[in-house]
């Protein structure tokens, strides 16, 4: 896979592709770009683009670790034989849970958020 950094135009297109219908997803994705846009590679961008094929609710469940990729509904992704497209898995590593790990820096820790309530 390519380790070439994502160009400005491609980054702009990816940000547009990542716009979601749920505010919660938009906030997490915006935070992700604030942390990683300068170091995002072409292969990582393709994996992120593949994740955007998920439905808003499944994407949020995945990002918040309420579900694992193998628990997502088959209707929410383009590849019927896998809960997360094989190309996204390959770009994010063999472990299916690596894709959401990209977002871990952007998701508040459950222990911290529950103690604040």
Q: Average of pLDDT values for 8-14?
A: 95
Domain locations in the chain? 8-107
CATH 1.10.10.10 given to domain 8-107? no
CB neighbour list of residue 69: distance below 8 Å, 6 or more residues apart: 62, 83, 84, 89, 96, 97, 99
Of residues 31 and 99, the one with the higher pLDDT is 31
The predicted pLDDT at position 2 comes to 54
Give residue 106's pLDDT band: very low, low, confident or very high (50, 70, 90): low
Identify the H or E element spanning 108. none
pLDDT digits (tens, 9 = 90+) for 42-98: 989 988 998 899 999 999 999 898 988 888 766 555 544 333 444 444 444 434 444
- Give pTM, 2 decimals: 0.64
The predicted pLDDT at position 110 comes to 54
pLDDT digits (tens, 9 = 90+) for 33-43: 999 999 999 98
């Amino acid at each position: 896979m390519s380790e070439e950094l994502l160009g400005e135009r491609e980054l702009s297109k990816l940000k547009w592709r990542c716009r979601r219908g749920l505010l919660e997803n938009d906030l997490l994705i915006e935070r992700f770009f604030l942390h990683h846009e300068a170091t995002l590679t072409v292969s990582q961008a393709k994996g992120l683009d593949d994740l955007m094929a998920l439905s808003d609710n499944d994407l949020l469940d995945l990002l918040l670790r309420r579900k694992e990729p193998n628990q997502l509904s088959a209707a929410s992704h383009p590849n019927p034989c896998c809960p997360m497209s094989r190309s996204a898995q390959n770009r994010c590593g063999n472990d299916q849970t690596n894709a959401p790990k990209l977002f871990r820096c952007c998701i508040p820790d459950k222990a911290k958020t529950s103690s604040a309530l």
